Structure 1
Amino acid sequence: MFLTASFCAAAIIISMRINDYNHRLTENLSTQLIESKANEAGAWLAQRIRELHTISRTPTVVSMEDSALKSYVNQLSNDMDSYYGNDYGTFAINRLDGIEYITENQTIDVSDRDYFREMLFSEAEYVISKPVISKTDQSLITVACYPIFGKTAEKVGFVAAAISLRKLTELTDNLSFYKGKSLIADSTGSIYTNVDESLSDSLVRNIIEHIPDNSDSKVSYKDVVEENTDYVVFYAPIPNSYGWFLCTAVHRSELFMDAELLARSLVGIGIVLLFVAISVSFLVSNLATKRIRILSGAMQDVRQGNLETSISLNGNDELSDLAEDFNVMVADIKKLMHKVYQQQKEERQRELQVLQSQINPHFLYNTLDTLQWKALEHGAHELSDLIVSLSSFFRISLSKGKEFITLEKELEHVRNYLVIQQFRYRDILEYNIDCDTELCKCSLPKILIQPLVENAIYHGIKPKLGSGAIRISVFEEDNILKIVVKDDGVGMNEEKLNQIKNNLDKHYTGNNYGLYNVSRRIFLNYGENYGLDIDSEENTGTTVTVRLPKMMEDTDV
């Protein structure tokens, strides 16, 4: 049902588009044809004006002498047919006072006529009168006037000619255009050609009412309804005239008959092609859906927990790429699940170690306090200080089961450890701790620095021949808390340094606290953006930098 509705909608839209395009194409072609006929009429009119221009430049005419003008006018009338064919009725020469020479023995006064007054006061190159009926043969004519300029370039008179409009009538009658009818008129209602009898008076009036006022306009057309009949009327301005338009009225049904027939034919062909396309698409979709069903089944298997699922779709299309991506995704899920399992296993082991370390801690503290008092009773003050450091070391290590402590407590824990180690390695170990007091309330995992110090003592200071020093500095850089443990021990060569760095990248862990253990704990708590940086130079020393997010005591991880 949906495809049928879509198909019908598409057919209607295509039909409308084709019909609209054909209508515009027909209108454009019709406009070009009408314009060419209007230009033809304009060219004929221009030729008549040029002929008048030639007569106005004749020496006899320029002289404006009475006797010569009468003889010349008579000659023009006698030779009119041989020189100018039947395009003219009569010629005349007008003086500025309105006297018009018609023949050698006949003059009339035209000073009260519109075309004479317009020519007398106008700056136009020539003047064409409204159409009139010739008194000699009852034909339609218009009077064209061209100025005569004397030897001093002043206006001395006019050449006037009664131009027959028979040629324009022939042009409109012979205009074969979708059985349409044509006439030439202006916006004032003057008609310059004979009107075909099939055009009713009301239609002619309707045509003239829509003539554009601007004769410089391009070809246009209007929809006109007359007596329940739709017409398309084309208006083409005629060059070299004063507001004349070639008007052609065509039945709309005649004008667009061929276009609509073509549109129906194209729609019919389109329907056949569309049916073929739909049939082919059904075949292609059946092939595609079979492969989609295979892919969907594999996804259902994974959803039910079967991560051993793998599919293979031959081809180089998008479905084949999707199947390959699916296999990669399943493999990544398996790796991720294994990784999460290992992390959870390590977390449980850490929790177990913490629980084990909390077994009866008070017994240990009470015993250490008793040893401290016994040492004081015997005057062993140095031994008493050592026991205090050891007791504080264990208290902070346990921290009542807390995983995170303040930086201040962590540094106290390290300081206790160093006091104990300094007592043990009295002659070879020196240390210094430098920390900004504003950072003391920062929160971090406990026992994070002590393993690094222990590593510096046993692998850096102790193997060195002579005394050594450990410097611990804590500072903030770009909202990152940096803890630097630096020793001046034996250091290590580049090969061993690279091996340690590679093991850190692989998150290698050992059984005891050390570099790998600290690196792993940072990764589990903060992710891959934080960790350890190690630099070392053989026989110079080693620097370990811990990078942690700056987090205050009450901030959640």
Structure 2
Amino acid sequence: MKGFTRYLSGFSIENKIFVSNILIIIVSISTLAFFANNISQKAIIEKAVNNSSRELVLIDNNLKTLRFTIEDYSKILASDFRLQNVLYNDLLSDADAGYKPVEGLNNLSMNKTLSETMSNIVEPNTKIKAVSILTAKNQWVDVGFADNDYAARIFGPMNETAKHSYLPVWTGLIRFKFLYEGEDNVFAVSKTVIHKDTGKTIGRVVLYVKESVIASIYESTNSYKGGEFYILDRNGKIISSQNKANLYRDFAETTSIPIPLGDHTNFIQGRGNHKVLVSTNRFEPLQWSIVSVIPIDEITVELKEINRLIMSIGVLCLLLAFIVSFRLSRSITRPIFQLSKTIRRIRKGELNVRSTYQSTNEIGYLSDGFNSLMDQIEALMAEIVEKQKTKSEVEFKLLQSQVKPHFLYNTVETIISLIKLNMKSEAISAAKYMADFYKISLSKGNDVISIREELRLTESYLEIQQLRYVEYMEYTMHVEEEILNGSIPKLTLQPIVENAIYHGLKMNKEKGVLQITGRLCYGHIQIEVYDNGAGMDEARTKAILMEPAGPKDNSSFGARSVHNRIVMLYGYKYGLEIESVAGYYTKVIIRLPLPNPQEE
């Protein structure tokens, strides 16, 4: 970089302007192309998100329709009078009395009746593959569709919960065997059969729906090549997928995508060329999740054409920029030489020199701006001198506040009173707190100390004040460990605490509370001093940090001095802020910069 700078130093000013303009234009065009590409990509992805969301809503609606249809068929079958008569007669049969229970279910006419009843609600008339019937005596009826032995092993006998569950119940994905087609992946929907006259539970019907029926809902829906849909159960297992090898597997382990949470979720997962757009929709009736996974590369195919267009326009703009930049550099260089003469004189110390070049073009504006800048520099120099004077006055008043003779006098009086009352341990504690207070307040002449030391100083002050005004106050401190190494002007908290006691808590008839809290807050340290004392009205709150009306107006010197010291040390981003409601509370917020890691 230094070699390149030395190389440019040999250029004429005209060439420097020309090269600089070209570089700026190249960077601008590149930046524009970059943001245009990003904006286009975001727009395309947002479009894909909307399309994916619409597809998921469509799948959700189709699933709802399928669910209602299957459940309606289960209700129709469970209420069919022929099925109810067969199941009810079987329930009334008494094996011990010599009546054979199998007569009503397995004789040829009854078998035919059941077959006719179920044939209307299975393939090819509907999307239901087969139906099983479980009697109240836990007998599975074989009507030539489902393997009843398989059903008995999977579902077992009817339990008490099933007897009192009158709504259709869906199982998860299961492997089931059919008599003529072997095993397949199905969802089972069971419905308790309630006799319409007696209200007794006389059996249960189970309808089987193939997973492929569910998959057919979304197989023709995907708008993007390479996109996939999944349906997950409540545990994150895949219960429907275009790739049947993924069934029964954990979604997160199979796809390396975290299990999506929430009703409607869209996020991008992966890195580089392996990024995918993941969209989800919650199918609440069965607590399923419909998940769409689309490769980002497939979504952004049309972005390549946009990039080619941007490159073509960029090359044309760059050629035009070469011509304009060359002519512009020539028009600028001549008046610049005249302005440079004035600058060289100022470098020699002639600060009152001003440019005499007058024009309405940009160089004329530059000349006027340069003159204005020099005027502002002179004004700033005068302001700096005034600020230094003000700083000296503040530091002098700070030095006076460090001595605190009235506090020393009052503390000594308190110690004497405690000794007279034969409260020697309290007197010793007061003396120790006073020693700690003055030891830290002196701080070897340092005006800035750590927050940890400032809190110790303030705690010593509060402990002494609590001995004196035990009927007025109690206090608490809660400060985060992370900010204790931060810097703070010495005696920042003490004046604020003193004001809270004398102008807040003592004004109340009842005992008050003073709270000091400190924490990290949005990139800075924030310390709050809160009291539930007398409070102030809005006009008084605003006036506290303002400059005094006259030399004798020292009513709020403590808070104003603290605020000014913080501003001088750290800038106008930091300082005090006061909130108060008359008769209720006052809160002083102190903002300080974060601690420097090197100092820790």
Task: Return the TM-score normalized by structure 1.
Answer: 0.43
Structure showing greater Rg = 1
Task: Return the TM-score normalized by structure 2.
Answer: 0.40
